[in-house]
Amino acid sequence: MGSSSRNLYAGIGESQSTSRPPLFDGSKYSYWKERMRIYIRSTNFQLWLVIKNGEEIPMKKVDDKLIPKTEDEFDAEDIKKIENYAKAINMLYCAVNPDDYRKISCCTTAKEMWDKLEVTYEGTDQVREAKIDFLTQEYEMFRMKEGEKIDVMFDRFSKDINDLHALKKTYAKKDLVRKILRSLTPEWMSKADAIYESIGVSIVTIDGLRGNLKTYESTILTPSLDEQKKKGIALKATKETVEEVSSDDDNEFGLVIKKFHKFMKKEFEQKERKHDGPPKCYGCGEIGHIKPSCPKVKHGKDKPGFKKKRA
User: In whole numbers, what is the pLDDT of the chain averaged over residues?
Assistant: 81
- 116, amino acid identity: K
For 184, phi and psi rounded to 5 degrees? Answer: -70, 150
User: Within a 10 A sphere around the Cβ of 13, how many other Cβ atoms?
Assistant: 9
Confidence of residue 287 (pLDDT cuts 50, 70, 90): confident
The SS3 assignment for 121 reads helix
- Residue 225: what pLDDT? 64
User: Within a 10 A sphere around the Cβ of 156, how many other Cβ atoms?
Assistant: 15
Q: Mean pLDDT over residues 266-284, rounded?
A: 63
| Of residues 201, 228, 224, 227, the one with CA closest to residue 212 | 201
- Residue 296: what pLDDT? 74
183: left (phi over 0), alpha (psi -120 to 50) or beta: alpha
Q: Mean pLDDT over residues 138-146, rounded?
A: 95
Q: Mean pLDDT over residues 45-60, rounded?
A: 94
At 61-102, the pLDDT tens digits run 888 888 999 999 999 999 999 999 999 999 999 999 999 999
